[in-house]
Amino acid sequence: MDRIAITGGARLNGSIPISGAKNSAIKLMAASLLTDEPLRLTNMPRLADTRFLGKLLTRLGVSVTESDGPDGQQTILHAPEITSGFAPYDLVRQMRASFNVLGPLVARSGQAKVSLPGGCTIGARPVDLHLQALEALGAKIDLHEGYVYAQAPRGLKGAEITFPFVSVGATEHAMLAAVLADGTTVIHNAACEPELVDLQECLNAMGAKVQGAGTPTVTITGVPRLKGASHAVIPDRIEMGTYAVAAAMAGGEVRLTNARPGLIDALLEKLKEAGAGVEETADGCIIRRNGERLNAVDIETAPFPGFATDLQAQFMALMTTANGESRIRETIFENRFMHAPELMRLGADISVSGGEARVRGVAQLEGAEVMATDLRASVSLVIAGLVARGETTVSRIYHLDRGFERLEEKLGACGAQVRRIVGDGEPEL
């Protein structure tokens, strides 16, 4: 498998364009199952996860065409008919979010058989809330041999859905299913992430009647059918935050373009508190650090608009060389400190107890061979490698390829010494 090698010590200066949001794009792709007309998505990232979902959608009857259009990278998805309602384990296991094809399949064709997505290295993340929402909408759900059998031969019906706790995936799934249901659906205790607003805007462009996304209450008035549409994917706030942290880590001045700083206010405030310079621009922001050592600051992950769990690993990497001790509390996922032992291989001083990590900043990290354990952990090791003395080699970067488009190219354009070693390292397990 490929590896990434980073030679530390180079400051970053230049511009980095932010790609479309992975976490939004994959749910928008699933929306193509809801109509027999083409759905055109622009500002589309080219990632392993979007390719995985593209393969699954193709199996279900969707034609998936990628190209460079007048608005940049685009994907056109067209499902004139659903040719199969079966999503097998070998495809669903590659990406949990592909489970979200279940609701659209049932909404449009009345039945589906979709594999349960299996475990996850950063926590259990069960799908009970997804299934409870579909049952509330009138689907009959049976579980057998690792598969979900869902049926609603007379169509889904509007319902009141109250989630016991906030779940982004379950909220998105309920929205995707309810747009074709007969009657009105109200989702209570809905997640408020920006990707939900993006999904609402796309569905409404397709003729749906959704309102309230981005608030705890979402109301969907079902319609008989949806039409084709064109929609631009929201910029990726996690990629934006990742490169903001990388710039603060390495020093220099980096302009992030095609970005929305308001989506990562919680992170930017912490960067300012640590001593980095943050300046908002018309199309993004500029991150500066003049070489002075950053100060340690504490963070606690929380649902949007709080500090994103998907930026926790990156911020931990930043704190490994900060002046003082920082406390990092993870409240969203268990097992999400798996990157800590790998950062310690680079010389970081980290202790973990339950959902809290204490990071005592050191003067210098040292390059070493490290291994990615999940998507965000992999990029935290790259960030640490930017300042580690000598060379850092990150293996199992198939995790990184799931969510970061042209990372070596984007960092390299700003002066980082980053290269991909093709076809070397450990095989994927």
Torsion on CA atoms 248, 249, 251, 253, rounded to nearest 10:
-40
- Cα distances (Å, whole numbers) of residue 293 to 7, 9, 94, 267, 387: 20, 14, 40, 18, 12
Q: Respond yes or no: is residue 414 known to be catalytic.
A: no
In 318-382, beta strands by DSSP E: 325-329, 349-353, 356-360, 369-371
Q: Can you give the C-alpha Rg of the chain in angstroms?
A: 22
- Cα distances (Å, whole numbers) of residue 79 to 44, 92, 128: 19, 19, 28
Task: Compute the distance between CA of residue 337 and CA of residue 315 in angstroms, rounded to an integer.
Answer: 12
Residue 3 is labelled as binding a ligand = no
The two beta strands, 86-87 and 111-115, are parallel
Alpha helix ranges (H) inside 145-262: 168-178, 194-205, 237-250
Residue 153 is labelled as binding a ligand = no
Residue 96 is labelled as binding a ligand = yes
The two beta strands, 369-371 and 391-395, are parallel
Phi and psi angles of residue 326, each rounded to the nearest 5 degrees, phi first: -115, 150
- Cα distances (Å, whole numbers) of residue 224 to 25, 30, 213, 427: 24, 18, 21, 48
Residue 402 is labelled as binding a ligand = no
Question: Residue 71, Cβ neighbours under 10 Å: how many?
Answer: 13
Residue 310 is labelled as binding a ligand = yes
Task: Compute the distance between CA of residue 387 and CA of residue 134 in angstroms, rounded to an integer.
Answer: 48
Residue 265 is labelled as binding a ligand = no
Residue 23 is labelled as binding a ligand = yes
Residue of 120, 192, 202, 414 with catalytic role: 120
Residue 239 DSSP class: H
Residue partners of 266: CB distance under 8 A and separation at least 6? 302, 305, 306, 307, 308
Residue 105 is labelled as binding a ligand = no
Task: Compute the distance between CA of residue 132 and CA of residue 379 in angstroms, rounded to an integer.
Answer: 34
Residue 143 is labelled as binding a ligand = no
Residue 223 is labelled as binding a ligand = no
Residue partners of 157: CB distance under 8 A and separation at least 6? 137, 138, 181, 182, 183
Residues making up the annotated binding site for UDP-N-acetyl-alpha-D-glucosamine are 96, 125-129, 310, 332
Annotated binding-site residues for phosphoenolpyruvate read 22-23
Binding site residue list = 22-23, 96, 125-129, 310, 332
| Catalytic machinery residues | 120
